[in-house]
Structure 1
Amino acid sequence: MSERLKSFIRERATALGFEACRFASASAPWDAGERLAHFVGEGRHGDMGWMETTLERRAHPTAMWPEAKTAVVLGLNYGPEADPLPQMADRSAGYLSVYARGDDYHEVIKGRLKILAGQMAARTGQDVKVFVDTAPLMEKPLAQRAGLGWQGKHTNLLSRRHGNWLFLGSILTTAEIEPDAPEGEHCGSCTACLDACPTAAFPAPFQLDARRCLSYLTIEFAGPWPEEFRVATGSRIYGCDDCLAVCPWNKFASGAREARLHAREALNAPRLADLLALDDPAFRALFAKSPVKRIGRDRFVRNVLYAAGNSGDAGLVEPVGALLGDPDPVVRDAAAWALRRLEAAGLA
């Protein structure tokens, strides 16, 4: 019965567009909760207070849902067509992380997970719950336990088939389903991801200090940045792909099949001058259905101003100067910093 059920779920998952579907025990013990507690105890979560307040529920799948027996872990490939990092050579354009150039993956995946979960519930008569990165469920350790890949030295999930470019979604169920074999670690002696980090955010292999991570700073952190990170961000205005893009396992990756995850033309290399002119309605219009929308116009324009200060583009002096009187104090601070940088380069 278990193998027939697994075959049914895999067939349904494939029909819904998922490239990976594996099974893991949701109730077996693991040490991921202890690693998370150490991460938070060291203060490496920065201002993400929700990680601390939900720490106990994050410690294990059954801490959140005691009846859970099995985790069905799904993967959806979002790989770019080519290495995205050369785009940063154009300092007058903003760099958005690959995952943020198309539609919000939460919305792309959630509907499909709900369909699959409904089909599972109808088939088994057991309860199901769906998760896409927004609930206190540690999906990367679950994915490794299920055999989708392993957490690399950069702490992200790595797949031998998809490289770094894999969105995850999970379905917990009270049904007992035979687990798949877990995936071992295959990083070996490689340190490409650690060496590529522009802010030295990895205190050791397999460890991250979010406070130094540009993905955290551009997305989660609301205030003014320390000077060193403003310079290090270069043209990165939302997220950072450096540690992902340099991984040698990406040689096996392919471009995303799902059209909604393909980069929109307007977000592939947007001009900083255009982004600096965004007011709130224009920001919301540009980033409709995008994950970028959730950080809001002010935080986003702050990021763009830091990139403008690093651009060496004299054409940005005027749009930067126009933001010196912005209503938001963090935006004003970023504008003043960017203008000083451009002046120091002899461009103003």
Structure 2
Amino acid sequence: MSLSIPQPTDTTPLDQPELRAWLGKQAVLLGFDDLRITDTHLGPASERLQAWLAEGRHGHMEYMQRHAELRSNPQLLVPGTVRVICVSMNYLSPESDFDAEWQRLENPSQAVISLYARGRDYHKVLRNRLQEFAKAIEAKIGAFGYRVFTDSAPLMEVELARKAGLGWRGKHTLLLNRESGSTFFLGEILVDVPLPLDYEEAEHCGSCQSCIDICPTKAITAPYQLDARRCISYLTIENPEAIPVEFRSAMGNRVYGCDDCQLICPWNKFAQRTQLPDFAQRHGLGQASLLHLWSWTEAEFEQRHEGSAIRRIGYSRWRRNLAVAMGNALASASLSIAVKEEIHRVLTEGLADADALVAEHIEWALNAYN
């Protein structure tokens, strides 16, 4: 069936059940787990963003302040946009086990890396599939205006996904879905075609505040309120400077990101495992010790994290994070003397060629053993 393509100024929805059903099926064929459609109106969310930025809760993420106006209005980002196709993609690999993750957090010799980062860089995986999806839509309906995004532009992804009905905002500010919890990535296609809209989903957190209670650094300051400057994910990834001393002990053995608010969430008992090989863990990152990861040279770091989101932080921040975790290991009463002595030895040796950022964290770590 040939479908006529409305002009971008036409706001009459395409009353095409066949097209909407096709979009959902095509999304699944391309590895996405759900698809919903919303408009570009963000309403009160834009005001909340401005207030959050005014309080400085974004920390060193200056790009959020710099592009705040674009972030508040997708039509400014991509002129002519009238709809946003929102998709989700589960990332938990089949071997993921939440109980095992809690056990690793209790073992100070082990390095804990956020579950989402153990496989390929999701930016590349989703962007390529979104582009393929857009080309398939073009083959179906003819030429149309679009751009694809996945955590790669000033776009309020979670708010758009919430409006589209992919889930609701949890009290930790992440998106939650009754069928798959919160362990999924989001992607968008901004289009100039007025597709029919989907409905928002009601919230289902009730009185639960497990995510607030579990946060090691109390970064979730109130329901739906996150101070990024306190968040371990921000501190280990986005923060380019020294990690504030007041948060170092609370970081424990987390060296890249933090999953505690997701691990504790009751809805994640429904978290779905992905069958995509892209998100299978690489280089044993789910079982690696701090000593093993510290032994990597910069060349090994670059090679082993090729195609990984972790590579973006660079070797210096990687060593900074490891030094904090190793300092916490040295301060732990449960670690054997032999392991502590080995950690102390390699940290001392590492001071010789450490840059100023890493050296300061090594010295802090060594003081924990004195």
Structure 1 match to 2:10: none
From 49, 63, 69, the equivalent of 1:56 is: 69
Output the amino acid matched with 2:23. Answer: I
Q: 1:189 to 1:252 in 2, by over 3 A?
A: same
Distance in 2 (alpha carbons) for counterparts of 1:110 and 1:330: 33
Contact 2:42 2:72 in 1 (8 A): no
| Total equivalences in the alignment | 342
**Is the aligned partner of 1:147 residue 2:160?**
no
Amino acid at match of 2:122: Y
Equivalent residue, structure 1, for 2:317: 299
> Which stretches of structure 1, 4 residues or more, deviate above 2 A after TM superposition?
121-125
Aligned to 1:2: 16
- Alignment pair present for 1:198 and 2:213: no
- Aligned-partner Cα distance in 2 for 1:172–1:76: 17
Aligned match of 1:324 in 343, 348, 351? 351
Q: 1:17 aligns with which of 23, 31, 34?
A: 31
- Residue type matched to 1:2 in 2? Q
Letter in 2 for 1:162: S
Aligned counterpart, 1:160: 178
Amino acid at match of 1:273: L
Match runs of 1:1-348 below 5 Å: 1-26=15-40, 28-80=41-93, 81-83=96-98, 84-124=101-141, 125-312=143-330, 313-314=339-340, 315-343=342-370
Q: Deviations over 1:267-314 (max 9, x none)?
A: 112121122222221111121111000000000100000000011341
1:204 deviates by: 1.2
Q: How many angstroms apart in 2 are the aligned matches of 1:201 and 1:112?
A: 33
The answer to whether the 8 Å contact 1:193/1:247 transfers is yes
SS in 2 for 1:325: helix
Q: Assess if the C-alpha contact under 8 Å between 1:79 and 1:162 holds in 2.
A: no
Cα distance in structure 1, aligned partners of 2:133 and 2:167: 22
Give, in angstroms, the shift of residue 265 of structure 1: 4.6
In structure 2, what is the Cα distance between the partners aligned to 1:29 and 1:159? 20
CA RMSD, 1 decimal: 1.3
Gaps of 5+ in 2: 1-14, 331-338
SS for the counterpart of 2:88 is strand
Separation in 2, partners of 1:29, 1:53:
18
TM-score, normalised with respect to structure 1: 0.95
Question: Identity percentage over the alignment?
Answer: 40
> SS state of the match for residue 120, structure 1?
helix
Task: Output the CA distance in 2 between the equivalents of 1:249 and 1:2.
Answer: 34
Give the deviation of 1:180 after TM superposition.
0.7
Please list the CA deviations of residues 12-66 of structure 1 after superposition, one character each: whole Å capped at 9, or x if unmatched. 111111111111112x352211111111100000011111100110012112123
- Could you say what secondary structure the match of 1:136 adopts? coil
Tell me which amino acid in the other structure corresponds to 1:35. Answer: R
Tell me the amino acid that sits aligned with residue 20 of structure 2: K
Report Cα offsets for 1:85-144 as digits up to 9, x if no partner.
322122111100000001111111111100111122233332111001011111101111
Residues 164 and 245 of structure 1 are in contact (CA less than 8 Å); yes or no, is this contact kept in structure 2?
no
Q: Which residue does 1:346 correspond to in 2?
A: none
Structure 1 residues without counterparts, runs of 5 or longer: 344-348
Normalised by the length of structure 2, the TM-score is 0.90
Distance in 1 (alpha carbons) for counterparts of 2:137 and 2:102: 40
Write the distance in 2 (CA, Å) between the matches of 1:166 and 1:248: 16
Note the alpha carbon deviations across 1:134-189, whole angstroms, 9 max, x for none: 11111101111111101110001111111010100000100011111111211110
Q: For residues 207-249 of structure 1, give each alpha carbon's deviation from its aligned partner in whole angstroms, at most 9, with x where no partner exists.
A: 1000000000000111112222111100000000001111000
Which secondary structure does the structure 2 equivalent of 1:175 belong to? coil
Contact 2:78 2:147 in 1 (8 A): no
| CA distance in 1 between partners of 2:308 and 2:230 (Å) | 25
AA in 2 matched with 1:241:
D
